[in-house]
Chain A
Amino acid sequence: MPERTSDDATPSAALGDRIAQGWSDRDELPPADWGRRTSSRRTGTVWLFALLITAMAVAHAWLTDELTHQAFLTWATVFTAIAFQALPFLVFGVALSAALTAFVPASAYRRFIPQNATRAVPVAGASGALLPGCECASVPIAGSLIKRGVAPAAALTFLLAAPSINPIVMIATAVAFAGQPEMVLARFVAGLVASVVIGWIWVKFGRADWLRLPTPTHAPGTSRGRVFRESMLHDIMHAGGYLVVGALAAATLNVMVPRSWLLTVAEAPVISVLVLAVLAILLSICSEADAFVAVSLTDFSPTAKLAFMVIGPIVDLKLIAMQAGVFGWRFVVRFAPLCLVVGLASTFLVGGLLL
C-alpha cells in the first residue's frame, strides 16, 4: 500500500514517533527474560482488574446512595445513555466490518464498485441507503472498505451517506415530521448531495497519507475465525475508546448548555441555521433519533431544522472522536471542516429549493 510510506516525511512527528523510531533502529534481540517479564505483567494486569472490581463493589455498597447531586446525576445519565445506546450499533458495525475483512475476498469489491474513484463515489453514496445503522456502525465499516481496496473517497462517501439516508433514518424522519413529506425528501436529497460532493472533493484534493489505516493485511495462513476475532477486537478497542470520549463531551455540553439561550437566536434567518448546525455537532445525537429532537425545536425555521439533521450524521463530537480513532487526527482536522462546509451549503441549497 503506497500511501503508508509517505508518513516519513512529516516534520511534526509526535514524541511517540521518535521513540518508536529509536526502537526500530536499534534492532536488538529480545532480552533473555522476555517471556517471564510478559507473564509477570499479565499477572499484574489481572491483579489490577481484581482491584478495580473490588473497588467498584465497595463503591457500589457505600457510595451509590451518597451521589445525589442533581446536575452530576443528569450528566451521568446522559453519558451512560449515549454510551449504551451506541453500543449495539458499535458491536454490529464492528462485527460486519470484521466479517467483510475475514470472509469477503477483496476481488468481490472490485466487481461491485467501479475502480474509477469519480464513478465509485455516487455508487457508494447510493449504497449508503442500504445499511440500516447509525454513524457508530459506519466508521469501522468504512475503515475496512478502504483496507479492502475500495477507493478512500468512495468509502468516505459511504461513511457519510449510510447514517444520513438509510431506511431507518428516513422512517424516523417521516414519523417525526408527519404531514411534512417535503422534510423527508429534503433530508434525503441534502444528505446524499453532501456525501457525494464531499467524496468528489476528496477524489480531487484528498491525499492518501492523511488517512492512517491501522490493521495490516493478515498473513495468508491465519484462520478466518482468528482474523474475524482480531479484527473485531481491534476495532472495538479503537472506535469504542473514542466513542466514550465523544459521549463524555456530548453529555457535558448537553447538561451545561441551557437550551433556553438558543431561543434568543431562533428568529434570525442565517444565524439560526448555523446555531442548529453547531447544536447538532455538540449534542451528538444518534442519526436515528435526531429527527425527533429537530421537530421539537419549534421556534426554528424548517431550513434550520434541516441543517440539524444534515450536519448531525456527518459531523459531531462522537463521530469526530471515532474517526480520529480509526483514521487518525491528521485526517479528522481536514475532513470534519470539509463536511461542515459542504453540509451547510447543501442544506441552504436544498432548503431554499424545497422548504
Chain B
Amino acid sequence: MNRIAQGLTLVLLGTAALTATVPTDLYLNWVKAGFGPFLIGAGAVTVFLGVLVVVAELRGESQAPDPGDATRAHVGDGVQEGTEHHTSARDHDRAVAAEYGDGGHGHDHSRAPKVAWLLLLPVMAVFVIAPPALGSYTVESTDGSSGPPPEEAGSGGFEDALAEAGPGETASMAVQAFVMRAWIDEDREMADRDIELTGFAVPEEEGEGWYLARLQMACCAADAVVNRVEVVDDGPVPEADTWWTVRGTWDEPEGELSEVGEHRFLAEELEEVADPPDPYE
C-alpha cells in the first residue's frame, strides 16, 4: 500500500465516521449516543492526517533527489508489501544509514502492510450497507439467554420513572427498568400502576402473541442485551420490528418473582410510533 493509498484510505475512513455522526444519526444504530463527539473528533483527526499525508507525498517530500533517499525509497518499493520490516531490509537500511550518515529513516513508513486495505471495509459498510439497528432477529436468536442483572437487589432504592411518577400518574418506563422491577422488586411497587412502555414488536415464533422488546447497550451493539415483555392484548399480532408504545399494567404473578420466566404486560392501549431516534436503552 503506497502512501497515496494510505492517505486516501484515512480520508475515506474519517469521512465515513463523520458521515455517520454529523449529517445523519446512523451511528446511534451501532454505539451509545455519548460516543458521538468522540467519533466526530476521531473522524476529523483521521481526515486531517490523511490529507496531510497525501499533500506531503504530492509535494514530493519523500523523493528528495539525493542518492541516499533514492536508494532507500527503492528498497521500500521493491520489498514485498508486509515484509518491509524484516531483517534483510533493516540490515540494508542500516548499511545505507552507515553510508549516508543518518538514522536509516525512510523505507519503513513509505508502505503499509496489505492488511491495512481492510480499513476500507468499515467505509463500505457505512456507505453501502448502512447497517440498521439490531432488532427482532437478535431477540429471536438470543432467545431466553439473558435475565436482568440483579443490581440494586435489596437496597430498596429504584431510580426509575416509576419512582419519579406521582401516585396515579402514568409512568413511562424503560423496558429494562420494567423487567428489572418485575424480576427483583420484592415490594411489588408496580402492581396496579399505569405504565407506558416503548419498544419494537417481536412476534412469537408459533404466531401466538408477541413481545415488546428493547435492546440495552452499554457501549456498542456487540454487547447488546435483550429485554422483552410479553404483551397480553386482544388485537392482531403486529409486524416484526414495528415500534409501539403500549399503555397498561403489570400482570402481577403469584409466588416468587425470581422464578417467573416471562414477564407479562396487560395492554389497554396500543399506539404505533415512528422509530425513535435512539433505538437502544
Nearest-CB residue, chain A, relative to B84: A20
List 20 A-B residue pairs with CB atoms under 8 Å apart, sorted by A's residue number.
Answer: A5-B87, A17-B86, A24-B75, A29-B71, A34-B74, A64-B128, A77-B132, A78-B221, A80-B125, A81-B29, A85-B31, A215-B109, A217-B105, A222-B105, A238-B112, A241-B118, A258-B141, A263-B144, A295-B150, A299-B147
Question: Total number of A-B contacts with CB less than 8 angstroms?
Answer: 309
B268 CB to closest chain A CB, in angstroms? 30
| Contact present for A244 and B122 (CB under 8 Å) | yes
A245 contacts B by Cβ under 8 Å: yes
Q: Which of B176-232 contact A (CB under 8 A)?
A: 216, 218-223, 225
Residues of B within 8 A of A95 (CB): 45
Bits for A211-242, please: 1 = Cβ < 8 Å to B, else 0: 01011111111100000011011101110111
| Contact A80-B131, Cβ < 8 Å, known A19-B79, A70-B137, A216-B93 | yes
A46 contacts B by Cβ under 8 Å: yes
A67 contacts B by Cβ under 8 Å: yes
Of A35-43, A102-110, A198-206, A340-348, which binds chain B?
Answer: A35-43
Nearest-CB residue, chain A, relative to B79: A20
B203 CB to closest chain A CB, in angstroms? 14
| Contact present for B83 and A288 (CB under 8 Å) | no
| Contact A260-B79, Cβ < 8 Å, known A85-B220, A245-B115 | no
Nearest-CB residue, chain B, relative to A70: B137
Residues of A within 8 A of B141 (CB): 74, 255, 258
Interface of B is mostly: helix
| Contact present for A74 and B124 (CB under 8 Å) | no
> Once bound together, how far apart are the Cα atoms of A231 and B105, in whole Å?
12
| Contact present for A233 and B53 (CB under 8 Å) | yes
A270 contacts B by Cβ under 8 Å: no
Nearest-CB residue, chain B, relative to A68: B132
Residues of B within 8 A of A291 (CB): 218
Determine which of A57, A180, A237, A298 lies in contact with B112 in the assembled complex, contact meaning CB atoms within 8 Å.
A237
| Contact present for B127 and A60 (CB under 8 Å) | yes
B229 CB to closest chain A CB, in angstroms? 16
Residues of A within 8 A of B134 (CB): 74, 77-78
| Contact A179-B85, Cβ < 8 Å, known A77-B134, A87-B39, A325-B113 | no
